[in-house]
Structure 1
């Protein structure tokens, strides 16, 4: 019998070869092992696997990722919580363009026939949704794994509903705006002065009058958009409790929940920086985050230091919310790495190039002093840059299968 002697190095190489083939073999086989998480009260990030959800597991995945690191793969599913009067139309156009061009299914509220917004609705009824692409209306068991949600929706009150119907692993993002400007925009847009019987014609005078007795004027309005968005409107869109305008401990408690649930909060005043962070989070291309500012006004109210001080006191929850995520944004910028400034400069150069290429510059005025841009280049990309895209998305998803 032949005696075979192997060195330690040969044995190690042999073992590595065997493990390598085992990893490749197991990775190619259909996953048959499942892990069930126990029930827990822990708050999870929206994109993380939730308690009681089963998913396929490969016990060698960690070894494979260590020795054979994979390339970044684009994330295709996202929940964008479209907050009010924050520049969110610009952001939703980015999300909508990404999903529409890839023929993805959007989670849409059927009762809003033009945009699919949920707004203040707190829902648990699948019958209130438009079906995903490829599914007939009424086949409710197949209403699942939606790819994109980019509508106005109250986030925490609907979070379990969103988790149930969105594709597992969807990222959750939103956008915030500096509170004094966000409040002024909402107060004027929703015609709150008229609702409160403040009859001045000048916008600044209306704001002056409101702050002579803000609580009285606010209490004089019935429930509706003016009521919801003339005090801590951004907080109302995100939080689970509408009556926390003066309870700071409650605000900070729910802020912790948002921290553990949202994957990214963009800041309107630093949209380019925010979009660069979104690109990294989603592993998208620069072309995916191109934008043109949409739905902006041609003029805003003149706010002095007194107005700004009063607005910040009146909207204390929004101030806490914005200040927190403004700091979070810059922390993420630092974590991005040394290439951030170079990548940002490249992105801004691309924006200018595409604006010139698409011939964007002329404007048309719409209702409520809104400005719309026109793209003279007829390419689908150029046209999508100047459109929010909601109407096309709703129309496509409402179209019967046989058409």
Structure 2
């Protein structure tokens, strides 16, 4: 009798193990656990992911590494702060300049950033597209925007080519907040408290109620980048944020994830029908001695960035759904891209040069090891300044 009971128990254990393994494989083939040692977003905010838009572009027929489609150079990249967006911007700059495309660029900024809201902004403050005369506003239709801007989506659509794909990039809000806190010198806000708490992150969290509105203005920066009109009180309203996420799900064809940059570029390549060489990159910016936070501080930062956590959670989920929908070629394409990237770096990239800006981050530039056209095009830093010069030069033609 005892032997039969032991056999039955063994069978049950094996069965449950097989079911658990099968369920894990089915539900999280690719999806990593972003919330290790942190509370799940749903437990904190009672959050339910809204439905996202159609992703039929993931099923565009492919033959080997060649897409049976036409490359799209019409891209509206909503640039977010401290998410790796400068590296992505350089990819788009390189593609746009190489293909003689027109960028939305302010002629009032050396970097081309549009610091005023598009709504109500005089079009004379924008450089006209290549081949278009100043003031011929009916022909102001651009291929690429990848500068920081205050977006008004209706106005932006009117300026962009009708076939434009809208994209952005998000980073885990705790890490993004820490990077932003350091980059923008927010430690200055808590200097008077450092004698009580020497850790600047803990000092901010402990004394933030004494900092007034400046404490809330540095939170939820990613959704603020996308939605400049959002007030702090709105961002504490779960229903309001969910509504905004639903709008963004219809707007953005792709939201890249910083922690999975290579994977994101594979999806971007498929979306735009580009080649592997079009998504090659070098890291453009680094932050020396980045701030750290213990698990307790991370949970508090997560609570303060409620809207960003909701935003990130939704698009993290849809991101991995896209990876699944891409099909079995995804892992093969990712592996090929990484091998290709490594080979190009070994062949083309020499010593790096660092320029420290304000002591809080490093702009990294690289020497070309091999002066071939492919290496020069890959390693050269293509800035918005190059696009600015091209569009200004076209005015004199």
Match of 1:296 in 2: 286
Which position in structure 2 is the counterpart of 1:115? Answer: 111
CA distance change for structure 1 residues 131 and 184 in 2, over 3 Å: closer, same or farther? same
From 167, 172, 188, the counterpart of 1:178? 172
| Shift in alpha-carbon separation, 1:202–1:276, aligned structure 2, 3 A | farther
Kept after mapping to 2: 8 A contact 1:105/1:148: yes
Select the residue among 204, 228, 233 that pairs with 2:221.
233
Q: Distance in 2 between matches of 1:94 and 1:357?
A: 19
Cα deviation, residue 276, structure 1:
0.3
TM-score relative to the length of structure 1: 0.75
Q: Distance in 2 between matches of 1:269 and 1:297?
A: 15
The match for 1:395 among 386, 389, 394 is: 389
Number of the residue aligned with 2:126: 129
Question: Is residue 247 of structure 2 the alignment partner of residue 251 of structure 1?
Answer: no
Q: Give the equivalent residue in structure 1 for 2:362.
A: 370
Distance in 2 (CA, whole Å) between partners of 1:204 and 1:372 is: 30
Alpha-carbon distance in 2 for matches of 1:231, 1:379: 45
**Does the Cα contact within 8 Å between 1:46 and 1:163 map onto a contact in 2?**
no
Q: Aligned partners of 2:99, 2:196: CA distance in 1, in Å?
A: 46
The 3 A distance-change label for structure 1 pair 379 and 395 is: farther
Q: In 2 relative to 1, CA 317–176 (structure 1 residues): closer, same or farther, beyond 3 Å?
A: same
The Cα offsets for residues 17-62 of structure 1, whole Å up to 9 and x where unpaired, read as: xxxxxxxxxxxxxxxxxxxxxxxxxxx9899xxxxxxxxxxxxxxx
**CA–CA distance in structure 2, aligned partners of residues 198 and 93 of structure 1:** 39
1:45 & 1:174 partners in 2: Cα distance?
15
What is aligned with 2:69? 72
TM-superposed CA distance for 1:206, in Å, is 1.4
Corresponding residue of 2:319: 329
Q: Structure 1 residue 164 and structure 2 residue 158: aligned? A: yes
Q: Which of 219, 225, 233 is equivalent to 2:213?
A: 219
Question: Separation in 1 of the partners of 2:182 and 2:255?
Answer: 25
Partner of 2:91: 94
**Contact 2:288–2:362 (Cα < 8 Å) also in 1:** yes
Map of 2:270 onto structure 1: 280
Which sections of structure 1, spanning at least 5 residues, go unmatched? 1-43, 48-69, 222-226
Cα deviation digits, residues 323-364 of structure 1 (max 9, x gap): 111111110000001111111000000110111121244342
Secondary structure in structure 1 of the residue aligned to 2:318: helix
Paired residue for 1:32? none
> Aligned equivalents of 1:258 and 1:360: distance in 2?
40
Give the match for residue 49 of structure 2: none
Q: TM-score, normalised by structure 2?
A: 0.76
Q: Distance in 1 between matches of 2:320 and 2:272?
A: 18
* 1:242 and 2:231 correspond: yes
- Say whether the 8 Å CA contact 1:173–1:262 is kept in structure 2: yes
Q: How much has 1:195 moved relative to structure 2?
A: 4.3
- Structure with higher RCO (Cα < 8 A, 6+ apart): 2
Q: CA deviation at 1:129?
A: 1.0
Distance 1:398 1:252 in 2: 42
Instruction: Confirm or deny: 8 A CA contact 1:82 1:174 kept in the other structure.
Output: yes
Shift, 1:380, TM fit: 5.6
CA distance in 2, matches of 1:392, 1:316: 38
Cα 1:238–1:214 change in 2 (3 A) is: same
Asked whether the equivalents of residues 71 and 274 of structure 2 are also in contact (C-alpha less than 8 Å), the reply is: yes
CA distance in 2, matches of 1:249, 1:215: 25
Aligned-residue offset at 1:109: 2.0
In the alignment, the residues of structure 1 paired with residue 394 and residue 330 of structure 2 have an alpha-carbon distance, to the nearest angstrom, of 46
Are residues 381 and 110 of structure 1, via their aligned partners in 2, closer, same or farther at CA, if it must alter by over 3 Å? Answer: farther
Superposition pairs for residues 304-315 of structure 1, below 5 Å? 304-315=294-305
